[in-house]
Structure 1
Amino acid sequence: MSTATYTVTGMTCEHCVASVTEEVGEIAGVTGVAVDLPTGAVTVTSDGDVAPEAVRAAVEEAGYEVTAGA
């Protein structure tokens, strides 16, 4: 099992959290997504390695930006 944390900007509400959770959760191998709205931290748990580029692309698809992280 692998865990990586990213900082995402632009999220302002629970709808934002749901959008990011849904998009990142669709990445192959991802088993969990935890979003902390106040800090912008998005923790991704997976059963193998997940490319940071895949997470970045999923976050951007949801309409937000990864500013730091794995």
Structure 2
Amino acid sequence: MTTVNVDGMSCTGCEDNVTDALGELPGVESASADHEAGTATVEGDVDVDAVVAAIEDAGYEASA
């Protein structure tokens, strides 16, 4: 499991945007985001840098 910090999420719609972006990464078995905690979690064989890049491409700031 990989968990990263995400800045800029303010609602469940933001969570959906992040989850959808992460779900497109190869190797991702499941993904979730929590705007209140400011985190996103990915299950599967995926590189943390790819997770951060996908979140940033979706318009949010991310850090491992």
TM-score, normalised with respect to structure 1 = 0.84
- Considering only CA atoms, is the larger Rg found in Structure 1 or Structure 2? 1
Quote the Cα distance in structure 2 between the aligned partners of 1:7 and 1:14. 16
CA RMSD of aligned residues (A): 1.0
Instruction: Give the partner amino acid of 1:27.
Output: L
The structure 1 segments of at least 4 consecutive aligned residues displaced by more than 3 Å after TM superposition are none
Residue pairs, 1:10-49, within 5 angstroms: 10-46=8-44, 48=45
Query: Which segments of 5 or more consecutive residues in structure 2 lack a partner in the other structure?
Result: none
Query: Which segments of 5 or more consecutive residues in structure 1 lack a partner in the other structure?
Result: none
How many aligned positions are there? 64
- Identity, % of aligned pairs? 41
TM-score, normalised with respect to structure 2 = 0.91
Aligned to 1:63, which of 52, 55, 59?
59
